[in-house]
Amino acid sequence: MTNTELVLNMLAEVAATDISVVHEPQGFAESAAVAKEGAKTAKAARQQLEKSTGRPVVSSMNAKNLGQITLDELSAEKKDEK
């Protein structure tokens, strides 16, 4: 899972929370509908980013790899600075 994937996941959660505050869903069915609306928000952002970059956002990596990616990126940046 990349940083972008994590951010899009957080966007879906925050959007669902904000929608929930406004619509005050009652019960599972209404809450599920709110969650789907939050997911639509993140999906639209993902699709726009993919269109802008020409690259897919979704990767085959999982969250366990994220720490290593960040360390690898930092190491590469330090090498570039030298």
Structure tokens at 19: 């929608």
Burial class (CB in 10 A: 0-12, 13-18, 19+), 42: buried
Per-residue model confidence (pLDDT) at position 61? 73
The pTM of this model reads 0.70
The CA distance from 5 to 35, in Å, is 17
pLDDT in tens, 10-32: 999 999 999 999 999 999 999 99
Per-residue model confidence (pLDDT) at position 23? 95
Per-residue model confidence (pLDDT) at position 19? 97
Per-residue model confidence (pLDDT) at position 58? 85
Task: Name every residue whose Cβ is closer than 8 Å to that of residue 45 and which is 6 or more positions away in sequence.
Answer: 8, 11
pLDDT in tens, 46-78: 999 999 999 999 887 766 665 665 566 666 666
How long a stretch of residues is the chain? 82
C-alpha 6 chain-centroid distance: 4
